[in-house]
Amino acid sequence: MALQNPATATSKVALKELTKQRLRTRLASFPWWLAAIGLIIATTLYLIAKSPSFNEAFSTIRAGIGVTLTITLISYSISLIIGLVTGLGRVSKNIGSQNIATFYVETMRGIPMLVSIFFIALVLVPGAVDLVGQLGTKLSGLGLTGIGNMLAAANNRAVSMSLRAIIALSITYGAYSAEIFRAGFQSVPVGQMEAARSQGLSHGQAMRHVILPQAIRNVLPAIGNDFIAMLKDSSLVSVLAVRDVTQIARLYAGHSFRFPEAYTTLSVMYLTMTLMLSMVVKLIEKRISPNGQ
Amino acid sequence: MDSSRLPVLIEVKNLHKWFGDLHAVDDVNLSISQGKVVVIIGPSGSGKSTLLRCMNYLETPTSGEVWFMGEKLTTDQKDLNRHRAEIGMVFQSFNLYAHLTVMENITLAQRVVKKTNKKEADAIAMEQLHKVGIADKADKLPSQISGGQQQRAAIARALAMTPKLMLFDEPTSALDPEMIKEVLDVMLLLAKEGITMAIVTHEMGFANAAADEVIFMDYGRIVERNTPEDLFNNPQSDRTRLFLSQILQK
């Protein structure tokens, strides 16, 4: 009878313990949340394929994806330009532009987005259009009929709700991205500006060649996340009766009373889009970080 | 001294700089003749860096005048940019453009300010990189090279503009000890070449070897100025003596 070697026995126990621990850490680091989201998406897809009511909901709501994406993309591009200019104003030494920029940012940040969309689309835009029209009439009266008549033709009916939605989202988000850009400019050490100025570059040249490229690199992840946020917030334009996915889902649910079908499909649609986008953002982040730092 | 026969390159007259309540530079007069190396020493907070930064108006003096090549510096940006293109500056924290390679760091101002074409700017950059001994790092980003190499790249960047005057603001203070020598060697080389330099530093050995004149500053004032031999061996003021004994004991 050979007795079991006690040393081997303990090492076997230790080995078992080790495997257990490894399994535990592996289980702990597994993205369960992502699996759960995947399961939800898969289940919904299954329902859409198999259940006629889900299928009907999906094929109806799907028609709004184009509007949602178009409005998001256009508003986002405009808001980036507004944000960049406003961000520059925020860090400007010029007291006038600094105050104008800060006024705009603080106003927008102090108003709920839903309210600012109402305000811009239903008060600001019509007001501006009326103003342009009056200016046109005045110019015509002064004899400048060419440009005058053109401006006088400005009519609120001509400004569609989709366009107003784009204007509203751009102005609202411009203030948010201005803050991102401001942080980006401030993240570039002052020594960079000093070095550039000490070499004879003007303030503008230093901004363009030294500060801006570094600032933009620093804010790229934040700007990417902003795009995802905008995609979600674009659902607010449904209050202007713009036929984006949310509006169509609301209409569909309203007349069919299929609330679970409509809003489950709608939620999963947004979830899928934002999930894919955030993966793209993470990819970009990874690509720029090794060189950036 | 034969310095009286050489043309004065930069002259500081009755310069004062206040930061709020702090009188950082207190009535400083200073002139540097062509080809001379002036080293400014003194305890931290004595105003030596501020004085240096006033010489290219990176800091605007509260009062007083700075004359460079016979012209008075003003806050007129156009004039200032023109003068700054001829005054090279090297910073304590290198301040290389972080998003550009070493090569691009050296060509940027040439191309933007002097409108030099790319080929010529590249050639000048390579020449300067050879001089400071890091030609093999031309395509590296600043973050990919050592501190000593970064500072040498920064020197090359300043030299590429063929400056009339070089300002060094504590160029070795942020460096690990083993990298100080490689930077000082480059600066010594420039001194031998006859480049006019104003240097704020704590490196007394370097001051002794390279300086034509050493200036000791304390509380924003010039306390004493002399040749390195005389200032180090025979300081006239008690404050200078105290400072030197503290620094040399280390």
Tokens of A203: 């303030």
For residue B166, which of B142, B190, B143, B140 has the smallest C-alpha distance? B190
The Cα-based distances of A166 to A125, A255, B113, B218 in angstroms read 11, 27, 41, 62
The verdict on a CB contact (< 8 Å) between A293 and B143 is yes
Note the pLDDT tens digit of each residue in A53-95: 999 999 999 999 999 999 999 999 999 999 999 999 999 889 9
**What does pTM read for this prediction?**
0.81
pLDDT at A3: 55
What's the mean pLDDT in A149-178?
A: 88
CB B25 within 8 A of CB B49: no
Question: What is the SS3 assignment for chain B?
Answer: CCHHHCCEEEEEEEEEEEECCEEEEEEEEEEEECCCEEEEECCCCCCHHHHHHHHCCCCCCCEEEEEECCEECCCCHHHHHHHHCCEEEECCCCCCCCCCCHHHHHHHHHHHCCCCCHHHHHHHHHHHHHHHCCHHHCCCCHHHCCHHHHHHHHHHHHHCCCCCEEEEECCCCCCCHHHHHHHHHHHHHHHHCCCEEEEECCCHHHHHHHCCEEEEEECCEEEEEECHHHHHHCCCCHHHHHHHHHHHHC
Of residues B5, B62, B74, the one with CA closest to residue B34: B5
In angstroms, the CA B5 to CA A174 distance is 62
CB neighbour list of residue B170: distance below 8 Å, 6 or more residues apart: B49, B92, B200, B201, B202
- Of the candidates B54, B77, B76, the one whose C-alpha atom is nearest the C-alpha of residue B200 is B54
Q: Tens of pLDDT along B68-96? A: 999 999 999 999 999 999 999 999 999 99
Helix, strand and coil in chain A, % to nearest 5? 90, 0, 10
Q: What is the pLDDT of residue A116?
A: 95
What is the distance between the alpha carbons of residues B34 and B36, in angstroms, rounded to a whole number?
A: 6
Q: How much is the ipTM here?
A: 0.92
Interface residue B143 vs chain A (CB under 8 A): yes
B85 Cβ under 8 Å from any chain A Cβ: yes
In the DSSP assignment, the letter for residue A156 is G
Among the partner-chain residues B91, B108, B158, the one whose CB lies closest to the CB of A191 is: B91
Average pLDDT estimate for A179-191: 95
Residues of A with Cβ-Cβ distance to B113 under 8 angstroms = 199-201, 205
Q: Taking a C-beta distance cutoff of 8 angstroms, is the pair B155, B132 a contact? A: yes
**Chain A residue with Cα closest to B98:** A214
Q: Which residue of A198, A207, A293 is the best one to mutate when testing the B interface, meaning the one whose CB has the most B CBs within 10 A? A: A198
For residue A290, pLDDT beyond 60: no
Give dist(CA A50, CA A270) in Å, integer: 21
Residue A7 has pLDDT above 70, yes or no: no
Please state the separation of Cα B32 from the chain's center in Å. Answer: 12
Q: Which pLDDT does position B202 carry in this prediction?
A: 92
* A133 closest CA partner among A118, A147, A143: A147
The owner of tokens 């550039």 is: A196
CB contact under 8 A, A203 and B99: no
B161 touches chain A (CB under 8 A): yes
Per-residue model confidence as pLDDT tens digits over A108-138: 999 999 999 999 999 999 999 988 888 888 8
A106 touches chain B (CB under 8 A): no
Least-confidence region, from A28-32, A96-100, A185-189, B118-122:
A28-32
B174's tokens: 């942020």
- Sorting pLDDT into bands at 50, 70 and 90, what band is B250? low
Q: What single-letter DSSP state applies at residue B76?
A: -
Per-residue pLDDT, B166: 97
Give the model's pLDDT for residue A159.
Answer: 85
Contacts of residue A250, defined as CB under 8 A and 6 or more positions apart, other chains included, come to A238, A262
Interface test with A, best of B60, B89, B102, B112 (most A CBs within 10 A): B112
Partner residue facing A191 (CB), from B56, B81, B93: B93
Token pair of B62 as six digits? 């509260």
- Average pLDDT score, chain B: 94
A-B interface: how many C-beta pairs under 8 angstroms? 69
Please judge whether B81 and A196 are an interchain contact, meaning their C-beta atoms are less than 8 angstroms apart.
Answer: no
DSSP B42: -
Chain B residues with CB inside 8 Å of A219's CB?
Answer: none
Is residue B41 within a helix (H) or strand (E), and if so which, with residue range? strand B37-41
Contact B91 A197 (CB under 8 A): no
Q: How do residues B207-246 score in pLDDT, each as one tens digit?
A: 999 999 999 999 999 999 999 999 999 999 999 999 999 8
Q: Give phi and psi for B223, each to the nearest 5.
A: -85, -40
Q: Is A216's Cβ below 8 Å from some Cβ in B?
A: no
Label residue B27 exposed, middle or buried (CB < 10 Å: 0-12, 13-18, 19+): middle
Chain B neighbours among A 172-201 (CB < 8 Å)? 189, 191-192, 194-201
Residue whose token pair is 């500053």: B217
pLDDT tens-digit map of B148-183: 999 999 999 999 999 999 999 999 999 999 999 999
Share of chain A above pLDDT 70, in %: 95
Residue of A nearest to B107 (CA): A199
Q: pLDDT tier at A293 (50, 70, 90 boundaries)?
A: very low
